[in-house]
Every structure is written in structure tokens, then in C-alpha cells.
Amino acid sequence: MTERFIAACVQNSAEVELAPSLDVAEDLTRAAAATGAKLILLPEYFASLDVVDDLLISRARPEAGHPALARFQPLAAELSVWLLLGSLGIESQAGSGRMLNRSYLIDARGAIAARYDKIHLFDVRLPNGEDYTESKSVAAGSEAVLAPTPWGPLGLTICYDLRFPQLYHALARAGARFLAVPAAFTKTTGEAHWHTLTRARAIETGSYVLAPCQTGTHAGGRASYGHSLIVDPWGKVLADGGTEVGFVTAELDAEEVVRARMRIPTLRHARHFDPPAPLGLQEAGE
């Protein structure tokens, strides 16, 4: 197993239509590969993003023949890199009328190494009046996914998952050395929480966190935060993408995961406990 390698997080600003978004994403991926990056991650909905009323919309397609997969699987093989397609809108076969928000890990031969369907859906009302109800258009996943890579296991998550530490703890206990968090965090929530949450997940699990995030203002007026991050297992930010379209890179050393977990072995120290009985507001005030 190779211990040291360069990883890259691509930061784009997706349009509604697939073609122009894929053009930009491919150019940035090629540029990242030219720096020596061997694992390149793209953001959530990197190929298409729109907001209609309170729905986050991506141009959903069936997995078979999806233009992004048709383009990026051969690209991974051409460049001999591993690619994480942060997420695509995939038409569900369940007949629910809702799509899947699905992440794809593509290996250096161009094969799909893993798929992950976003578990936690962004149904929130923000203080500034922004409303989002992802569950109206997206069916939630139910399975955590840990994928093998040449550098060690990679835990797959997407965006709003970042707020649920139990998912990351489970991935790390199962062996994850690296945690992927492709996102399209809103500017409002990003300014408040993005850096804190990504660093917390790294520190809690002693893992590298790789978090490519969209940037800029999209159709419908929704603004994404940017600031794609690469965070080491001690919580140090190795790279921050700021707010411009582009990419960031950092050299990762899988042995740093071992060292961080030896210094503060929280994964070994975690113990099962019985949760407290629910306490209603009235009871709490009495």
C-alpha cells in the first residue's frame, strides 16, 4: 500500500445544463492531475445544480449512459487517477418519483469502485428566510459505504451528512483513513459552520477529511460557499479553496492517521452507554 500521495479537491460552480458544467469539471480535473494528484474529488451536484422554489434540482438521468459517467470513467483511465464524482442526480428505479443523490468512486482503470446514496437530506429553514426541502425530490439512502483505495479505505458521505458525527465514527471504526465530504454548502451555513464541522470530523475520527465544495451563485439565486478543504487527522487545514473556481491539492500520508489515533485513541476508548430517558420541556422546567 502506498503511504504518500497527492489528493485534489475541485471547486466549480455548476450550471443547470450538464454540458457546460462537465466541460469546466473536466478541465479542472485534468489540471489537477497534471500537478501529480492521484485522487481527485469533485463536489456534490458538480454536473448540474438549480433551485426551484424550495427544491435543490439536478438534471437527473438513469445511471446507464449518464453523460457524466460516460465522460469521467474514460477520463480516470486516461489520466490513471481515482476520481470521486461528488454526486449526480440519478433516476430512481423505486417508482417514488424522487431521484437519488449518488456519489461515485471511479478507479484508475475507469471502473465504478463504489456508489453511495446520500443518507441525510437537507430539509431546513434558515434564519435569513431560505427554505430547502431536499426530501421532496430526493430519496434518502440507508447504507454507509467504505471503499478500498490504493492508500487505504475511503468513507463516502455527502454534504448535509457532515452534521451527523455518528456516521463518521462508524466509518472510522470500520477502518476509514480518509473521509470524503463532497458538498454544495450554502453560503449562509458555510460561513457559520463549514470549517468547524470539517475540522471536527477529522479530529474526532483521526482521519483525513477531503471536502470539495461548490462556489458562486447558481440559477435560482442560491449561493454556494466554496472553501473546499483538505484537513489532516490532527485537524490542521492543509488546503482551502477560497471562493474562486479552481482546485486545491495537498500531500497526504496515511501514516499520519496511525499517529493521530495513537496520540488520542478515541475510537478505542468509545464505550456503549444507555441513552437518557427523554425529558419533556415541561418536565425540564419543573
pLDDT tens-digit series, residues 207-222 = 999 999 999 998 878 8
Would you state the pLDDT for residue 285?
A: 42
Q: Quick one: average pLDDT of 246-269?
A: 97
Would you state the pLDDT for residue 91?
A: 92
Would you state the pLDDT for residue 92?
A: 87
Give 51-102 as a DSSP string. EETTEEE---B-STT-HHHHHHHHHHHHHT-EEEEEEEEE--SSSSS-BEEE
> Which residue bears the cell 460516460?
70
Query: Within 10 A of 160 (CB to CB), how many other CB atoms are there?
Result: 23
Catalytic residue among 9, 15, 38, 118, which? 118
Catalytic residue flag (residue 159): yes
Provide the 3-class DSSP secondary structure of residue 136.
Answer: helix
pLDDT at 155 over 60: yes
Summarize pLDDT for 30-78 with one digit per residue, the tens. 999 999 999 999 999 999 998 776 566 688 899 999 999 999 999 999 9
Catalytic residue flag (residue 118): yes
Residue 275 binned pLDDT confidence (cut-offs 50, 70, 90): very high
Mean pLDDT for all residues in the chain: 93
Summarize pLDDT for 96-106 with one digit per residue, the tens. 778 999 999 99
Phi and psi dihedrals of 27, rounded to 5?
Answer: -60, -45
In the chain, % of residues over pLDDT 70: 94
Residue 281 binned pLDDT confidence (cut-offs 50, 70, 90): low
Query: Within 10 A of 106 (CB to CB), how many other CB atoms are there?
Result: 23
pTM: 0.94
Structural domain spans, the chain: 4-272
pLDDT at 95 over 80: no
Q: Which residues pair with 247 in a beta bridge?
A: 10
How far from the centroid of its chain's Cα atoms is residue 236's Cα? 18
Contacts of 181 (CB under 8 A, 6+ apart): 157, 158, 159, 161, 162, 198, 201, 209, 210, 211
Would you state the pLDDT for residue 127?
A: 82
Would you state the pLDDT for residue 286?
A: 40
Q: Quick one: average pLDDT of 177-182?
A: 98
Catalytic residue among 44, 134, 213, 256, which? 44
Phi and psi dihedrals of 59, rounded to 5?
Answer: -65, 95
CATH homologous superfamily of domain 4-272?
A: Carbon-nitrogen hydrolase (3.60.110.10)
Which H helix or E strand runs over 5? strand 4-11
Catalytic residue among 159, 187, 213, 256, which? 159
pLDDT at 282 over 80: no
Backbone CA torsion sign across 147, 254, 193, 44: negative
Would you state the pLDDT for residue 79?
A: 98
Would you state the pLDDT for residue 284?
A: 45
Catalytic residue flag (residue 44): yes
Cell of 121: 437530506
Could you give the angle at the alpha carbon of 77 between the alpha carbons of 227 and 239, nearest 5°? 20
